[in-house]
Amino acid sequence: MASTLEKFIHSLDPRALPRVLQIQSGIYFQGSIYEMFGNECCLSTGEVIKVIGFKINKLIASICENNEDSQISAKVELPLNFPGLYKVVADKTPYLSIEEITQKFSIGPTRFGHPSFYCPEDIKLANLTIKRGEQITFSSVEEINGTMAVNCGVVRNNQSHSFTLPLSQEGIFYECEDDQIYTLKEIAEWKIPKSRNRIVKLSNTLHVWDSSNPLPENFGGCLILTPVYEVKAVMKFRKDIVHILSDLDVEVKDITDCYDISSFLQPLSLEDVFERTSKEFPMVAEIMEGPQGSQKPYNLLCTGKEIIIYKKYQAKRVLASEIRSDSPKRHFLIPMSYKGKFKRRPREFPTAYDLEIARSEKEQLHVVATKAFDSPHKELSSVSVGDQFLVQQCQTSEVLYEGRKKAVDVLACEQILSNTYKKVLIPMYMEGGFVEVIHDKQQYQLSEICKEFRLPFNVKVSVRDLSIGDDVLAAVPGLQLEEEITDSYLLVSSVSGPGDSWEIPVYRLNMSVHLLGKDVQTVVPPATRTTVEEISEEQYYMVRRYENQTLYPPPRPPKKPA
């Protein structure tokens, strides 16, 4: 049965991709010529396309001046980066099964992907009864003993109780109120259920309002958000990927079940290539859609170019951030093959507890106080701005508190006076400020820093890497080397001129290829060029989240005695 492209995409489950669609009617009888992102395609009646992906491109906001039940005064188009923070209004329409919820919502590892629901009736499980109205938080979907189920949790008396619900579980489930606030981009990615709209309220007033702002001045009502998707598709006789907006005025019919899907080119993402077995490498591929970006090697990976993919592997990088007080900071991933040299820069420590974490057996930590502290106990030292200390070790000391002795954690230090040293005890809970005094003038390779010192570690490039044409790190006044990470890479070179090979990241590069089946003439890759990768703020937090998700959080610093 034919439907509009918009209606089809709004109801399409991403897990059902790819889908083959036939154009039933276009804007014109002869067909419609459509251009987006420089890709021009003709969607003529009878044309067959293979949909391989879709994502929200923009939002149509219906403006309600008071609440969601009031009359719509206007409709405006909002980009995903439109400013402001928004509160999500709970959907009043119930869901009738757990499976329906998993089909409509993105359930994933971050807090954005943990929707909450309640049932107006008790749910009796084998070892637990979920009471009516109790908030159930969905955390992940997985197969358990051959049955697909959702991992859930409820909180009772500050205690979390975990359980699973099968997708076949039926009932009436209402969305819970959400007290968090989100950007429009976060709402678009996580909070708009498939085939439903989403009502939001502006949480903070826009600081600067002008006539170009599509929302009314001092707006305090509701917005009903309807997503417009960008559809990625492959056409029968084209080698590139076309992008189509879902609100294009065409009707389509799903003919996947009666069409030979292998007759289309098979686009592969870098993740798809990485999942191939090691025996299948090396391979020759043609780029169907190249990545965005002007830095090498991304500017060399243009659409239509043939590349050799030699191998897949895991490689170490050091995650580094620019040292600056204001934001935004720049972030980098530095390979261990980086040939530049670094000199140390002073670290800053907000508390005495941070001094304990930073101290090492290799050298004594020398710091200067940048903030005063008055000790409430005569057994412990007060600190004045400019006081210098050599950090010794953490220990326990007794202090007199309300006539009784109480044990507290302290940091034993030597205070540097004009002609002598004085042993002092600083409470570990002290909220002060310290800056490191650097005596080490040596220059270090990246691998030496990772081996000899504990990260995070502050440095500045003293000798740039001459093998890199434009060493972006050399222009940064200061860097904090934060942590070592392990990431997935493909080693590639150009078929036409394989003078160099490049490491390209699998999970941060939006790129599609199709395999050509050609024989690879040179199995041994040419010399690998060193590349310092500059990453966005969003990529930075994703890298840190995936790297740290299996680690235990550090212990909390001691609290000041009540």
Distance CA 43, CA 547 (A): 44
Distance CA 346, CA 332 (A): 20
pLDDT at residue 550 in the model: 38
Q: Which residues contact 57 (CB under 8 A, 6 or more apart)?
A: 80, 228, 229, 230, 245
What is the rounded average pLDDT for all residues in the chain? 85
The 10s digit of each residue's pLDDT in 32-47 is: 455 554 455 667 788 8
pLDDT reading at 158 higher than 60 = yes
Distance CA 339, CA 361 (A): 28
pLDDT reading at 102 higher than 90 = yes
Distance CA 534, CA 542 (A): 14
Q: Which residue has the higher pLDDT, 480 or 561?
A: 480
Distance CA 64, CA 220 (A): 9
Q: How do beta strands 170-175 and 48-64 pair?
A: unpaired
Closest C-alpha among 153, 173, 162, 155 to residue 99:
173
pLDDT at residue 131 in the model: 93
Distance CA 291, CA 303 (A): 9
Number of Cβ within 10 Å of residue 562's Cβ equals: 4
Q: Are 56 and 80 in contact (CB under 8 A)?
A: yes
Distance CA 305, CA 287 (A): 6
Range name among 207-216, 226-235, 278-287, 400-409 with the lowest pLDDT average? 207-216
pLDDT reading at 353 higher than 70 = yes
Distance CA 491, CA 115 (A): 39
pLDDT at residue 29 in the model: 37
pLDDT reading at 152 higher than 50 = yes
Distances (CA, A) of 244 to 5, 192, 247: 10, 20, 9
First to last CA, the chain: 70
The letter for the amino acid at 459 is: V
Burial level of 196, CB count in 10 A (0-12/13-18/19+)?
middle
Tokens of 90: 């709970």
Q: What are phi and psi of 78, to 5 degrees?
A: -120, 130
Q: Are 162 and 151 in contact (CB under 8 A)?
A: yes
Read off the pLDDT band of 243 (50, 70, 90).
confident
Q: Which residues contact 534 (CB under 8 A, 6 or more apart)?
A: 295, 330, 331, 332, 472
Distance CA 107, CA 114 (A): 6
pLDDT at residue 553 in the model: 42
Tokens of 401: 């508190």
Read off the pLDDT band of 498 (50, 70, 90).
low
Read off the pLDDT band of 560 (50, 70, 90).
low
Region 286-295 average pLDDT: 81
Buried b (16+ CB within 10 A) or exposed e, 291-324: beeeeebbeebebeeebbbbebeebebbbbbbbe
- Report which DSSP code applies to 173: E
pLDDT at residue 211 in the model: 62
Distance CA 100, CA 151 (A): 15
Please state the three-class secondary structure of 375-438 as a single string. Answer: CCCCCCCCECCCCEEEEEEEEEEEEEECCEEEEEEEEEEEEECCCCEEEEEEECCCEEEEEECC
The 10s digit of each residue's pLDDT in 437-496 is: 999 899 999 999 998 888 889 999 999 998 887 889 999 999 999 999 988 999 999 888
Please state the three-class secondary structure of 322-386 as a single string. Answer: ECCCCCCCCEEEEECCCCCEEEECCCEEEEHHHHHHHCCCCCCCEEEECCCECCCCCCCCCECCC
Q: Which residues contact 490 (CB under 8 A, 6 or more apart)?
A: 270, 273, 274, 309, 310, 311, 312, 503, 504, 506
Share of the chain above pLDDT 70, in %: 90
The 10s digit of each residue's pLDDT in 299-335 is: 778 888 999 999 999 999 999 999 987 777 899 999 9
Q: Which residue has the higher pLDDT, 432 or 2?
A: 2
Read off the pLDDT band of 294 (50, 70, 90).
low
- Report which DSSP code applies to 248: S
Range name among 167-171, 235-239, 246-250 with the lowest pLDDT average? 235-239
